Amino acid sequence: MLTACHANTHRRSLIVFAVSVCVLVAVSAAACLVGSSSVGPGDLWALVTGSELSAPARNILLNVRLPRVASALLAGGALAVSGAVIQAVLDNPMASPNIIGINSGAGLAVLVVGALAPALMFLAPLAAFLGAVVSALLIFALSFGAQASRLTVVLAGIAISTIFGAGMNAVLIMAPDAYVNASGFLVGGLAGVTLRTLLAPACYILVALPLALLFAGRLNLMALGDERAHSLGMRVKAARIHFLVISALLAGAAVSFAGLLGFVGLIVPHLVRFFVGHDNRVVLPLSMLVGAAFVTACDMVSRVLFAPYELPVGITMAFLGGPFFIYLIVKRRGYSDARS
Amino acid sequence: MRGHDPGVKRAAAVALATEQPSAIEYRGVGFSYDRRSFIESFDLSIVPGCVTGIIGPNGCGKSTLVKMAAGYLKPQAGEVLVDGRPTLGYRPKERARRLALLTQTGRCPSMTVEALVACGRYPHQSHQGSLDEAGRAVVMEAMSLCGVEMFRDHDVGLLSGGERQRAFVAMTIAQATSIIALDEPTTYLDVHACHDIMRLLRELKSADNKTILVILHDLDLALRYCDRIAVMSKGTLALEGTVDKVVASGVIEEVFKVRVQLNAPPAGSVNGVSYSLFPRF
């Protein structure tokens, strides 16, 4: 009976995985088809299988829909995994890349490059990564230099986030042309992303994601606390810096093209844990799938809701995700993320 | 966790064990928090194959001592040897294959009992993947030894205090080290759960010849179940020796300001003697 019970936990994770993959594929396909100009499922199928396709349909799919869907998938997957990693590393369910200032560090770096050296905008992903790492290391120094409590870490993060946020607004006021579509950048939006601008951040993300997933088991050890992890033979400080840099890489790359998409990094890991528990070897890959599907779906909605106008995806995400997150918090029973 | 009289085999074990080199050795160790000298020129040898209890009033440096052995805290003077080598000279995983430290229960992680116990296998894995067949067997054995295998799929946080502590001890056992240090493993446990843990420690010692170092606040438990006792007072070692020697010396009376009275067991009891303490004011 015990083995049966054990097998059930395993099977549950597998089912959730399978469902997530199906949802992700369905959402991606739908997002390729939905939009102001009509493209049919047949056209998409023809593109996938490489058969004959009308030139306008091909053009729309390759140059409009595909970059859009790819950017939503990448941003969602990267930010959700980044959030899951940060929550585990800081042992803090309230943490996420936007709350502890990683996103705003990356955002400020992008805007500063845009204002001072617009010609170097191709370096935006690198700048975003550096900004994110600076924030992450600041948090690290603040929280572990002073043996700070989990609340202190979040408060320090909010302070850092506020400072960098003020920096971003200052840049935008003094150099209004620093960034095209700056209002979309501040709430997070995917309008205007092309395959070319997506290339560099995509490489960052595709390197960092496997690194995060591969070492997910170590995050479980960190949940035991520093002393216990140390006595199990883990180099806790080194591991913590390693994970913070990976999550900064993920969040920075996403912010460089998608702007300050915050919410996904906070709610997706919580949503995933609600269904499959706290084993990070399951939570991380599932967060990637669910985060990608969530942002893609929200982006699709924000394109069609007020067509021909479109909302930045960050707004739709907050409107859809916010109430759902509140529902989860209120409804959870037996689900605990913040046991002290 | 079968019952046995802890007092019986004590003398023989002690005589045998003193022939070997120390499991943990403190050599002139000094340690201070915030530049205030706390532990000074501290010397102590932990006899292998024994259950050694460390007792002492609050804040006398007991936890600091075991954390230095595990390399978590670095002494400012002197050195700590584990199995004859400086503990800081070991690679972290190598040290964790020799010495396991169960720290005081702080935050309770959100994971199943089996996942928790499997964490104990970390120093034996080259990378953190899934366990191999042998590793799984060790985890199962540790769980059944501690009597938590029926909770293997339960969340650690949903267990009672005694069950949770046994799960943590199981994790420590899964580490398969020859030395196990435990920092107040019986805190917050009811009487029976305390005795359960202490019996388990004795069983580990006698079955696998492990060296057990255990910090205890409950003097009765310490004197009943340990082979040897180290009494600490304000960062110094007051006395280390066999239980009988320590009790006879009167050091406990002095350090804890209590009178110790030895009670014979009631007729038919297999629990050996007990100790009552009467505070002096």
A159 touches chain B (CB under 8 A): no
Task: State the Cα–Cα distance between residues A223 and B267, nearest whole angstrom.
Answer: 48
Amino acid at B181: A
> What b/e string do you get for B15-27 counting C-beta neighbours within 10 Å, with b at 16 or more?
eebeeeebbbbbb
Residue B122, classed as helix, strand or coil, is: helix
B126 touches A at CB < 8 Å:
no
Instruction: Name the A residues in 217-246 with CB < 8 Å from any B CB.
Output: 217-218, 220-221, 223-225, 227-228, 230-235
> How high is the pLDDT of residue B2?
41
A174: exposed, middle or buried (Cβ count in 10 Å: 0-12, 13-18, 19+): exposed
- Rounded to an integer, what distance in angstroms lies between the CA atom of residue A141 and that of residue A100? 13
User: Encoding tokens for residue B65?
Assistant: 């001592």
How many angstroms away from the CA of A232 is the closest CA of chain B?
A: 5
Tokens matching residue B247:
């009790």
| Average confidence score pLDDT of chain A | 84
pLDDT of residue B10: 54
Residue A334: pLDDT band (50, 70, 90) is: very low
Which DSSP symbol is given to A62? Answer: I
Residue A235 Cα, gap to closest chain B Cα (Å): 7
- Asked if residue B69 lies in contact with residue B85, where contact means CB atoms within 8 angstroms, the answer is no
How many Å apart are CA B260 and CA B277, to the nearest integer? 5
Residues A244 and B267: their CA atoms lie apart, in Å, by 62
Checking if the pLDDT of B7 tops 60, the result is: no
Residue A146 has what pLDDT?
54
Q: DSSP readout, B31-74? A: EEETTEEEEEEEEEEEPTTSEEEEE-STTSSHHHHHHHHTTSS-
B158 by DSSP, 3-state: which? helix
How do residues B180-213 score in pLDDT, each as one tens digit? 999 999 987 888 889 989 999 999 999 889 999 9
What backbone torsions phi and psi does residue B265 show, to the nearest 5 degrees? Answer: -70, 150
B115 touches chain A (CB under 8 A): yes
Cis amide leading into A308 (omega within 30):
yes
Cβ contacts from A onto B, under 8 A: 85
pLDDT of residue B202: 93
Q: What single-letter DSSP state applies at residue A264? A: H
The per-residue pLDDT for A24 is 92
Q: CA-nearest residue of chain B to A225?
A: B107
Q: Measured between CB atoms, does B132 come within 8 Å of chain A?
A: no
Among all chains, which residue has been given the structure tokens 């054990």?
A6
- In angstroms, what is the C-alpha Rg of chain B? 19
Asked if B185 has any chain A CB less than 8 Å from its own CB, the reply is: no
Coil, strand, or helix at residue B23? coil
Distance, in Å, from the CA atom of A205 to the CA atom of A211, rounded to the nearest integer, reads 10
Pairing of strands B85-86, B274-279: unpaired
Q: What is the pLDDT of residue B252?
A: 92
Which residue in the set A9, A217, A233 is minimally distant from B93, CB to CB?
A233
Residue B10, CA distances (Å) to A292, B17, B185 in order: 63, 11, 21
Report yes or no: B105 at the A interface, CB cutoff 8 Å. Answer: no
Contact in structure between A21 and A59 (CB atoms under 8 Å): no
Residue B9 has pLDDT above 70, yes or no: no
Single-letter amino acid, residue A116? L
Looking up tokens 């584990």 gives B82
For residue B280, pLDDT beyond 80:
yes
Q: Which of A220, A230, A234 sits opposite B111 (nearest CB)?
A: A220
Taking the C-alpha atoms of residue B135 and residue B248, their distance in angstroms, rounded to an integer, is: 45
DSSP sequence for A130-142? HHHHHHHHHHHHH
Q: Do A232 and B175 touch (CB under 8 A)?
A: yes
Q: Looking at CA atoms only, how far is residue B148 from chain A in angstroms? A: 12
B103 vs A contacts (CB less than 8 Å): 225, 227-228, 231
Q: Which of A113, A133, A115 is nearest to A123 (CA)?
A: A113
pLDDT above 70 for B150: yes
Q: What is the DSSP letter of B178?
A: S
Separation CA A294–CA B154 (nearest Å): 31
The nearest alpha carbon in chain A to B110 belongs to A278
- Average pLDDT in chain B: 86
Task: Of A49-53, B83-87, B160-164, B199-203, give the lowest mean pLDDT range.
Answer: A49-53
Q: What is the pLDDT of residue A22?
A: 94
Dist. CA A197–CA A121, nearest whole Å: 9
Residue pLDDT, tens place only, B15-29 = 454 556 789 999 999
3-state helix/strand/coil string of A151-189: HHHHHHHHHHHHHHHHHHHHHHHHCCCCCCCHHHHHHCC
- Residue-level pLDDT at A289: 96
> Does the pLDDT value for residue B128 go beyond 70?
no
> Does A279 sit within 8 Å of B115, measured CB to CB?
yes
Q: Which residue has the higher pLDDT, B150 or B265?
A: B150
Contact B119 A218 (CB under 8 A): no
Lowest mean pLDDT among A237-241, B179-183, B246-250: A237-241
Partner residue facing A231 (CB), from B70, B107, B108: B70
Token pair, residue A229, equals 């992890």
Question: The complex's ipTM?
Answer: 0.85
For residue A199, what are its two tokens? 């290339």
Helix, strand, coil percentages in chain A from 3-state DSSP, rounded to 5: 80, 0, 20
Higher-pLDDT residue of B7, A331:
A331
> Which residue is associated with the tokens 């994790």?
B171
**Residue B240: beta bridge partners?**
B230
